[in-house]
Amino acid sequence: MNKLKLIIRREFLAKVKNKSFLVMTFLSPILMVGIGFLVFFLSKKNDEKVKKIVYVDESKLFTEDDFKDTKSYDYVNYTELGIEESKKKVEEGGYYGVIHIPQNDSLELLAKSITFYSKESPNISIIERLESKIESKFKNLKLTGFGIDLTKIEASKISAEIKMYNFSGEKSSKLINWLKIGVGAIAGYMLMMFVMIYGTSVMRSVIEEKTTRIIEVIVSSVKPFQLMLGKIIGNASAGLLQFFIWGIIMLIVSIVASSVFGVSMSEMQTSKMSPEQLEAMNNAVAGDKMQLLIQEIFRLPLVTMFVLFIFYFLGGYFLYSSLFAAVGAAVDNETDTQQFMLPIMLPLILGVYIGFATVINDPHGPISTIFSMIPFTSPIVMLMRVPFGVPWYEIAISMALLLCTFVFMVWMAAKIYRVGILMYGKKPTYKDLWKWLKYKG
């Protein structure tokens, strides 16, 4: 046990004292927050640029009310100039493009013959906006032709809002589903990143010691299993410390950046809203919806989520790190690891895809349930399911399978590790790994 503690301490300090670790620990969150604000700033500046669009309406069906100027678009009527002359002026001037609506007695044929000309490929959102405007106009024209009063259709529109309650009579909200999706997705994504970053770190550490022949001295005084386990736990401790520091720094930087640049979450979400929409949203948020959201947050199984997050976080990391350590012991350089990396990473990637593709839409469906039981995908899929509420027996089965698989994989990886750690000069194959697993002694 003392030897294991020494190995864990050595691996932890070697990782923490590394200059790259210190630089990335304090620089990464600043860069991430900085990039986020830069993207927001650039997108905001891009939205502020008004695009001038010329229209030539030879059909005489559209009016100036149909092409009203907005915050982002100015419409100019060049119908009298004709399409050819308008194209020349648009090409010479500072216009974004010109839309040509030709003459045609059939609305169906006219809808298929409208053309947009521009110097460069137009933004797809602009084309969709124009298509929506034209479709709405033609729809109204057809309804009028059928003798239907448009004012009555407009007056007939009504919005429905379904109120949700559980069987105990407590009020629920659609917002809580988005909250559960966000919590589950962040937890699953964090686990995947942690395994990829620190699992490969264990592998590189083993390869480095093997190539420098330091490992030959180390294994003379400690068992290979203890060495492998110490490396895994030491790197995990350093990684958890780094994640904890990242969380604190990102929180501080976000608060400082918000106060300095005057950017708030509400501004990010409502920068494109009209004053009326913004006022309506603020009134809603300030009232029942915000109170309901806070209530729903506290109704989540927060303690259970935290405990399970720690269990699956560590269980998934130890499971995959043992495999990474075995691969590092089997090869002489990082290039040779590529043939063994895909089988290890594939279940991890599959878990992420399953989580986002099925858990979000159907957290209690058969696919979500099955993959939350499979040990190689359960750390990610189960973390995504937990906020939606999972029966205790499913959690118990999943945890038991993960624990048993973890113990088995560590034992199997240790058998490869103890043989491969002293093998040099030969590129291993899957056949060699199988022989090492059966080796006794």
For the segment 14-33, what is each residue's pLDDT rounded down to a tens digit?
888 878 777 777 777 777 77
Of the three residues 127, 156, 185, the one that is the final residue of a domain is: 156
Q: Is the domain of 116 the same as that of 251? A: no
- The CA angle 180-186-188, to the nearest 5 degrees, is 100
How confident is the model at residue 284, as a pLDDT? 47
How confident is the model at residue 370, as a pLDDT? 92
Q: Extract the tokens encoding 362.
A: 């159907």
Is 92 within the bounds of a domain? Answer: yes
Q: Is the domain of 72 the same as that of 151? A: yes
Is 40 within the bounds of a domain? Answer: no
Q: Is the domain of 114 the same as that of 12? A: no
Which alpha helices (H) appear in 262-388, and where do they start and end?
A: 265-270, 275-284, 290-299, 302-330, 338-354, 366-371, 378-385
Number of folded domains that form the chain: 2
Q: Is the domain of 128 the same as that of 185? A: no
Q: Extract the tokens encoding 364.
A: 């209690």
Dmax (CA) of the chain: 95
Q: Is the domain of 241 the same as that of 355? A: yes
Is 223 within the bounds of a domain? Answer: yes
For the segment 311-325, what is each residue's pLDDT rounded down to a tens digit?
888 888 888 888 888
73 class by beta-carbon count within 10 Å (0-12 exposed, 13-18 middle, 19+ buried) = middle
Mean pLDDT of 278-305: 60
Q: Is the domain of 282 the same as that of 189? A: yes
Q: Extract the tokens encoding 247.
A: 């969380």
Q: Which residue, among 64, 107, 100, has the nearest Cα to 85 in the 3D structure? A: 100
Taking the C-alpha atoms of residue 340 and residue 329, their distance in angstroms, rounded to an integer, is 12
Is 41 within the bounds of a domain? Answer: no
Is 39 within the bounds of a domain? Answer: no
Q: Is the dihedral of CA 423, 425, 429, 432 positive or negative?
A: negative
243 class by beta-carbon count within 10 Å (0-12 exposed, 13-18 middle, 19+ buried) = middle
Among 107-116, 178-187, 220-229, the range of highest mean pLDDT: 107-116
Distance of CA 283 to the CA centre of its chain: 30
Least confidently predicted of 61-65, 87-91, 217-221, 340-344: 217-221
Phi/psi of residue 237, each to 5°? -65, -45
Is 373 within the bounds of a domain? Answer: yes
Buried b (16+ CB within 10 A) or exposed e, 127-159: eeebeebbeebeeeeeeeeeeeeeeeeeeeeee
**Helix, strand or coil for residue 425?**
coil
How confident is the model at residue 164, as a pLDDT? 72
**Helix, strand or coil for residue 74?**
strand
How confident is the model at residue 172, as a pLDDT? 61
Q: Is the domain of 151 the same as that of 175? A: no
Mean pLDDT of 163-189: 72
How confident is the model at residue 272, as a pLDDT? 44
Q: Is the domain of 28 the same as that of 57? A: no
Q: 326 near 416, Cβ under 8 Å? A: yes
User: Residue 65's CB: how many other CB atoms inside 10 A?
Assistant: 6
Across the chain, mean pLDDT equals 79
Assign 3-state DSSP to the chain and report helix, strand, coil percentages, each to 5. Answer: 70, 5, 25
Is 175 within the bounds of a domain? Answer: yes
Distance of CA 350 to the CA centre of its chain: 15
Q: Is the domain of 128 the same as that of 176? A: no
Q: Is the domain of 376 the same as that of 433? A: yes
How confident is the model at residue 397, as a pLDDT? 93
Q: Is the domain of 256 the same as that of 145? A: no
For the segment 196-210, what is each residue's pLDDT rounded down to a tens digit?
888 888 888 778 777
How confident is the model at residue 173, as a pLDDT? 62
How confident is the model at residue 254, as a pLDDT? 60
Q: Extract the tokens encoding 284.
A: 């809603």
Is 164 within the bounds of a domain? Answer: no
Of the three residues 104, 122, 156, the one that is the final residue of a domain is: 156
Of the three residues 109, 135, 156, the one that is the final residue of a domain is: 156
Q: Is the domain of 382 the same as that of 274? A: yes
Q: In what order do the strands lie in the sheet with 97-101?
A: 73-77, 51-57, 97-101, 115-117
> 114 or 269: which carries more pLDDT confidence?
114
Does residue 258 register a pLDDT over 50? yes
Q: 6 near 13, Cβ under 8 Å? A: no
Least confidently predicted of 233-242, 365-374, 390-399: 233-242
What domain range includes position 26? Answer: 2-33+169-438
How confident is the model at residue 286, as a pLDDT? 45
H/E stretch holding 97? strand 97-101
Confidence of residue 47 (pLDDT cuts 50, 70, 90): low
**Helix, strand or coil for residue 129?**
helix
- The CA angle 198-376-351, to the nearest 5 degrees, is 85
How confident is the model at residue 209, as a pLDDT? 75
Taking the C-alpha atoms of residue 112 and residue 117, their distance in angstroms, rounded to an integer, is 15
Q: Where residue 86 sits, what CATH number does that domain have?
A: 3.40.190.10
Q: 5 near 237, Cβ under 8 Å? A: no
Confidence of residue 174 (pLDDT cuts 50, 70, 90): low
